[in-house]
Amino acid sequence: MLVFFKERLAFLSVPKTGTTAYETALAPRADLVISEPPMLKHAPVYRYNRFIRPMFLKVCDAEMELMAVMREPISWLGSWYRYRQRPFMRGKPNATFDISFDDFILAYMKGKKPGFADVGSQLNFMAAQPNGTSITHYFRYEDQPRLQSFLSDRLGVTFDLKRENVSPQMELTLSPDVEQRFRRKFHEEFALYASIP
């Protein structure tokens, strides 16, 4: 998570959306950088609202706008699937080496997910809170120029991004039946993604 106080902007770090590269590029410009532990680095809206927002509101009488990047839902899960096939994951319970992508998606759709498919939800990460705290600026992972242009304009900086924390490359295919079931079950996720300009 990056907070730019003067610009009243907090960049929430949705996992598997390239935010580590932005953190590296923009950390020197940020007023607050939370890079560890992962539970705080990747604080969703509800955790930001509970712990970070009150700090700025009570001490500085300042409210931040929130920004977040969302990845196309199947691509997002594909990144998690590939991420859990990094070499050091072999033999670990959350590894996906001996699991097909179809089986990974089917496991993700279960109410009680097995560990290897328990990766959270972008929709839940960005859910608005009862007090009105919500994402002000949404960006698609797949539209990096719009995201970079927004940050350059808002922060008055130019920056170079380097690829970081990248999942192994592999071709993934989802059977039409599993994809249809996934799209039906998680239609709100797809609707949110489709609403982002």
Domain-wise residue ranges, the chain:
2-195
Say if residue 167's pLDDT is above 80. no
pLDDT, one tens digit per residue, over 9-61 is 999 999 999 999 999 999 999 999 999 999 999 999 999 999 999 999 999 99
Yes or no: say if 65 and 137 are a contact pair by the CB < 8 Å rule: yes
Task: Quote the pLDDT of residue 164.
Answer: 77
Neighbour order of strands in the sheet with 2-4: 32-33, 2-4, 9-11, 65-70, 135-140
User: Reduced to 3 states, what is the DSSP secondary structure of residue 66?
Assistant: strand
- 73 phi/psi in degrees, rounded to 5: -55, -40
Q: Locate 143 and state its tokens.
A: 């539209």
Q: The tokens 């410009």 sit on which residue?
A: 29
Task: Quote the pLDDT of residue 82.
Answer: 96
pLDDT, one tens digit per residue, over 107-162 is 999 999 999 999 999 999 999 999 999 999 999 999 999 999 999 999 999 998 88
Measured in residues, the chain has a length of 197
As a whole number of angstroms, the distance between CA 61 and CA 33 comes to 20
> What CATH number belongs to 2-195?
3.40.50.300
**The overall pTM is greater than 0.85:** yes
